[in-house]
Structures are given as C-alpha cells and as structure tokens.
Amino acid sequence: EKWAHHRKIITPTFHMENLKLLIPVAATSVINMLDKWSAMSKSGEVEIEVSEWFQSLTEDVIARTAFGSSYEDGKEIFRLQAQQMELASQAFQKVFIPGYRFLPTKRNMKSWKLDKEIKKSLVNLIDQRKGNWGNKMVENGPKDLLGLMIQASTKESGKRMTELNSSPSSKITVHDIAEECKSFFFAGEQTTSNLLTWTTVLLAMHPQWQVQAREEVLKVCGSRDIPTKDDVVKLKKLSMILNESLRLYPPIVATIRRAKTDVELGGFKIPHGTELLIPILAVHH
C-alpha cells in the first residue's frame, strides 16, 4: 500500500512533458562528450571505446537531470554508489552462503559505510532543496527530477493535511525521496549506457540505417544544435532504431511477477502467490 501511494505521488514527475523539459540539460553532457571526441581526433583517425564513454555520459546526464543546480553533489553521490555497485558485483561472484551479507566482513562493512554516507549526503541535499523551496528561492518551478519530486510530495502533504483520516505512514518522507534518487542511478545508469552502446554497434553494422537516421535528424532539427521537445516526437526512424535495439539486446533480460489470483497460463495452472520469471530476452526473439 505504501509503495502504491508513493508511486502515485512520484509518477507524474516522469510524465513525458516534464522529461522533455530536461532535453537541454542532457544535451549539455552530450556536447561536452563530442567536444572531447573532436579534440582526440585532431591528429587523425582514433578508435573510441564507446561503452566506457557512454557509461560516463549516462552518469553525467542522470546527475544533471536528477540534481540540476546540485549537480556536483549529485556526481559525488553517484561516485559512491558506483563503488557500492562494484562491491555488490564482487559479492555475487563468490559462493553463495545464506546470511553472508549480514556478516561483518571487510567488504560488507565497507558497503554499509558507503550506504550510510550516501543516505546522509542525499538527506542533507534534499533538506537544503526543501528549505530553498519553502523560502521561495526556486524561480519558475523546479528544473530537475529532485525538484519535481519535492514539489509533488509538498503538494501531496498539503492536500492530505486537509483529510482527517490521513495516515502519517502514507506520507512521502525525505528518506523516501532519497531512496528514489538512489534508484535513478541503479536503474538508469547501466541500462541506458547498454542501449546506447548496442545501438551504436548496430548502426555500424547497418550503415544504410545510420545514413537514414542522420538524414532524418538533419531534416527535423535543421541548424539547431539541440533538438526541441517538438523535434523529438518527429524523429520516427530514430525511435524505430532504438526500439529495435531494445528488442534485440534488452538491458533487462528478465523480470519477476507474482500471481495475484489462481490463473491458467498456456494450459498450466498457476496458484495464487506464485512468482513467475518472465524471460524478456526469449520473448523478444
């Protein structure tokens, strides 16, 4: 119930119209990367490991779009989260021992310390932004995902204050917003960089589609370096290319769903409460 309520509050933050407003912010990171590529190729042809560059690009875009004016603080928080992910990855490579993650090993203690540091930094950042919001220091509304979430939670709190039966547990707290900020990185960094990498590889393998995509971008955007929110919806071929890349190489290869009721699927009876593993990669192929 708590998850459903939080989802209801936060979902409008990710409405397409809100995300379109962040295009110039994301473009800043892309332009910076392209400038570095141009500098590298001044002396002639150069080979670029795009997966590493796209990973850095994705981290930069997420930090800018999530934290806006607090971009540098966001980058530092994401740097700590990257270290935490590396520790988690190392743990998965070990023989699984039930309850091992609760033991005070050197790796676990380092991960716990990082988690506390990340939460503390996020809470301080959110409190600061909420203070600015309360003091009307935010001009023309929020311009990043953190600001949009704070706005949504503030509106919801004001709305629920008028309801006599409002439950304190149903309100979204600073710690809840902090957890959502952590999710930006964990859910978005690897998936987006993988999509960009595979799309680049596929375009290199099929240059005729690369030409068509380039022609479409030049036709729609013209001389503009940064596409407008209206331009994005007109890039039909580019959308097709990205969707096909997602079909062939989905960043998430499987997901789990729990049956709410007894159901029959493909002639098999699935009891209520059964968890089903859905192989997205297999379905796409």
Domain limits, the chain: 2-205, 207-248, 253-285
* Predicted structure pTM score: 0.77
Mention every residue, 6+ apart, whose C-beta is less than 8 A from residue 279.
Answer: 253, 254
Radius of gyration of the chain (CA): 22
Placement of tokens 């509106």 in the chain: 155
- What whole-number distance in Å separates Cα of residue 29 and Cα of residue 20? 16
Sequential pLDDT tens for the chain (285 residues): 667 776 777 777 777 787 788 888 889 999 999 999 999 999 889 999 999 999 889 988 888 888 876 778 888 888 888 888 888 777 766 656 777 777 888 888 988 998 899 888 888 888 888 776 554 445 555 567 788 778 777 766 555 544 544 455 556 778 888 888 888 777 777 889 999 999 999 999 999 999 999 999 999 998 888 999 899 999 999 999 999 999 999 999 999 999 999 999 889 999 999 999 999 999 999
- What whole-number distance in Å separates Cα of residue 88 and Cα of residue 56? 20
What is the CATH code for 2-205?
1.10.630.10
